[in-house]
Structure 1
């Protein structure tokens, strides 16, 4: 009987201590919103618009109209890329389409370099040097930028990347190239980067 009473007393004391505990808490919350990412392009380096599909592709303005190319002719054209505002930053890679080697394209070669300004001609292309190569000169029209070679576009239209295209009909072009035509296309594939 005494043992039972003792147990009862111990349980009673334990319950009393639990009832005397105090509690408090803090709460936190946060709202998360996804940003935007997008690029626009320009054939003159100043007026930028979106050309999101092959059907809305911008037409490059070559210095020498590529309508009557002769062997040894090289013609140059600018294309600039920037992010929209607002947009996060990203990288850009140049991809040539597989049909660029049809018709005259099978005989043409080309190269692409980044240039500091919006002038794209023999002087600025050659002056940029091989360090600025996106596509090394003399490549077939189906060549894309070298694996892993990308250009950085800053957030919120923070910079522009000026691409200078140089397209050549080599002096070795055969007589069979006369009168041929081709429509070449390129895609600038941009990927967002974390801030």
Structure 2
């Protein structure tokens, strides 16, 4: 009988030990949850740039916006034309030293005023600046009506190395007077539109 009474007395101790073990188990789980690790990655994005410049003398290059275009220096006075006269003017374009992309340049006629009747032109490209140089490519064939530009007249410009400007493309405008009318006067403005490649 005493032994029977003693057995129930041991049960609370076993429960107490089990309860203590459960508490330790919970503590171990909290400790394991504290192990963490992370990796991070970042990207920085900066847009490139390019800027087109033009020159009427092959040396000084400037920006020439639509409001103040460069004035072409024709070899013969274009204000005193008669039938059969041919006047020429060199022009060059390049990318400035801050440009970080090559570009494709498209030629178009921006605007024309007055009378250009009887006037045609040709646009050529050469290795060196000046209309007396050997032609390397014809961009606009002779006989093109002044004040108009054929579709898809393009050429490429390369960016420079480091902060140096890119190599210029040298152009020559040749305007021929046909059946012009006495005292007629007019002007035309070409646009060189550059798009990054």
Please report the TM-score for the alignment, with normalisation by the length of structure 2: 0.75
1:152 aligned residue:
156
1:4 aligned residue:
none
Give 1:56-95 correspondences, 5 Å limit. Answer: 56-88=68-100, 89-95=102-108
Q: 5+ residue gaps in structure 2? A: 1-24
Q: Please state if 1:142 is matched with 2:155.
A: no
- CA-to-partner distance for each residue in 1:24-64, whole Å, 9 max, x for gaps? 443221211112221010001110011122x2111000111
Q: Distance in 2 between matches of 1:145 and 1:114?
A: 16
- CA-to-partner distance for each residue in 1:97-147, whole Å, 9 max, x for gaps? 3526x41x12100010111111114xx3xx426xx1211110101332442
1:118 aligned residue:
129
SS in 1 for 2:121: strand
Contact 2:122 2:143 in 1 (8 A): yes
Please report the TM-score for the alignment, with normalisation by the length of structure 1: 0.75
Contact 2:111 2:188 in 1 (8 A): no
Decide which structure has greater strand share. 2
Q: Distance in 2 between matches of 1:45 and 1:181?
A: 28
Residue correspondences, number: 168
Q: Please state if 1:183 is matched with 2:190.
A: no
Contact 1:135 1:146 in 2 (8 A): no
The match for 1:46 among 29, 54, 59 is 59
Q: 5+ residue gaps in structure 1? A: 1-11
Q: Distance in 1 between matches of 2:151 and 2:75?
A: 26
Decide which structure has greater helix share. 1
Determine which structure has more spread, i.e. the larger CA radius of gyration: 2
Q: Distance in 2 between matches of 1:67 and 1:128?
A: 26
